[in-house]
Amino acid sequence: MIGALMLDIAGTTLTPEDIELLQAPQVGGMILFARNIESPAQVRALTDHMRQIRPDILIAVDQEGGRVQRLRNGFTLLPAMGRFGELYQTQPKQALELAEQCGWLMASEVLAVGIDFSFAPVLDLNAISDVIGDRAFAQNIDDIIPLARAFLNGMHLAGMACTGKHFPGHGSVKADSHIAAAIDSRSYDDIYQQDMQSFIQLMPQLDALMPAHVIYDQVDPNPAGFSPYWIQQVLRQELKFDGVLFSDDLSMQAACVAGGADARIKAALDAGCDMGLVCNDRDAACIALEAIQDLPLPNQARLERMRGQIPNISIAEKLDLGEHWKTVKTRIEAFKNNM
């Protein structure tokens, strides 16, 4: 059974405390960071060990491309998604082909080392945000939607579920929600007509969404990830979204408005998130775990859709996933290096 808490570990192997936490019923996921990565072979050994301890665990990573990619040493260094948006202005057909190949390449390498999914892609606008920028495909919806659709197609072809972030849009908020409270004072209509459209148009292809730690104060007083209005009324009822909802990291500064780690995880789950992330703070993760011990487990059928098609292969120090992989890798690296 899959629990409602996703947490992390400090090193490249499991400690006795890590193993004990993995066995807790309400722990449903693990997310890997750069500190957990030495080589493809080491990552596969780590994820295999996690599954020996907890066969039903979901393992995730942030492997977007550009400045947000945790798997680097021994993996393809991917371009930022904004590079596809730039190419799309002059060579749209080539940009779409490369975006799909990049989605496939990213997902293939992540799955090969035993990770179920990457929290990708970013569907925000590249507008004024300090933290989004070229993590977004483009500055306008008409460019984002086809490029993101191509990237999603590539992920699905590789056998990976997709997570769109950060609903209903983080790109039009200046503050970085990792380190500050983020407030967007636009009307619902403005948000709906602009930032939300990429999520709405791509919803049939999205397996999961991650709400933003942003307060849209003309709409609701709570950050979207803690908001029954955004999650239950807008996403579930009005937009009929039945995919998984992951909270953004509940250790981020913008999440502190909900209180301590126990209050934050409860607020996210009560609002309608299926799984809450508590990262880079083991004490907070333990407090959150204790706070939800007696809560019912989340929707299992929904979470099962996030399980990746992980190949039964042994991994050497250097990845080698076949001729098609080599061809695509060469093309994406050439694109990145020629930017």
Active-site residues, by number, are: 178, 248
Please check whether residue 33 is in contact with residue 8, taking contact to mean a CB–CB distance below 8 angstroms. Answer: yes
Peptide bond into 16 cis (omega under 30): no
First-to-last C-alpha distance (Å) of the chain: 45
Backbone torsion region of residue 164, taken as left when φ is above 0, otherwise alpha when ψ lies between -120 and 50, otherwise beta? beta
| β-pairing verdict for 63-65 and 68-69 | antiparallel
List beta partners, residue 246: 275
User: Which strands sit side by side in the sheet containing 244-249, from one edge to the other?
Assistant: 117-118, 58-61, 27-32, 5-7, 275-277, 244-249, 208-211, 163-167
User: To 10 degrees, what angle do helices 323-337 and 92-112 make?
Assistant: 120
Q: Are 222 and 247 in contact (CB under 8 A)?
A: no
Q: What whole-number distance in Å separates Cα of residue 261 and Cα of residue 284?
A: 5
102 φ, ψ (degrees, to nearest 5): -65, -40
